[in-house]
């Protein structure tokens, strides 16, 4: 029978998820002028969190991580829809999607 080391798979999953999360954080800091790239980087960070939750759900043999992952996916979808709707309205008003002009929006 073939013995497979699951700790290596766990290490690869955690490392991959951490790298994806760090790429999302770096993308937010490097693409501060482009609001669409900032939204994409937030989505990448949420995907990395989903990988974390699914991994720990498998590792701890608990179904709660899957529920958190599903909740994060629904929040990410709502965030994308609302963010893009705000961008469309902002573009119609100012004919530009420059982040520097977002400071003029007051609630």
Task: Give exposure, 85-107, as e/b (b: 16+ Cβ within 10 Å).
Answer: eeeeebeeeeeeeeeeeeeeeee
The conformation of residue 95, written as its DSSP 8-state character, comes to S
Non-local CB neighbours of 55 within 8 Å, separated by 6+ positions = 10, 13, 14, 17, 65
CB count within 10 Å of CB 20 equals 17
- The pLDDT tens digits for 11-67 are 888 999 999 999 999 999 998 878 888 889 999 999 999 999 998 888 888 888 888
Look up residue 27 and give its two tokens: 């993308």
Class (C level, CATH) for 9-104: mainly alpha
Task: Say what the pTM is.
Answer: 0.79
Sequence-separated (6 or more) residues with CB below 8 Å from residue 62: 56
- Domain edges within the chain: 9-104
The string of pLDDT tens digits covering residues 80-98 is 899 888 888 878 877 777 7
């Amino acid at each position: 029978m073939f013995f497979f080391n699951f700790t290596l798979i766990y290490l690869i999953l955690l490392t991959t998820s951490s790298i994806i999360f760090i790429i999302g954080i770096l993308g937010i800091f490097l693409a501060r002028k482009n609001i669409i790239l900032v939204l994409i980087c937030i989505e990448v960070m949420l995907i990395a969190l989903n990988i974390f939750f699914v991994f720990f759900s498998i590792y701890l043999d608990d179904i709660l991580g899957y529920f958190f992952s599903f909740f994060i996916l629904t929040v990410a979808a709502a965030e994308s829809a609302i963010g893009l709707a705000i961008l469309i309205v902002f573009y119609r008003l100012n004919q530009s999607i420059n982040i520097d002009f977002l400071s003029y929006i007051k609630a």
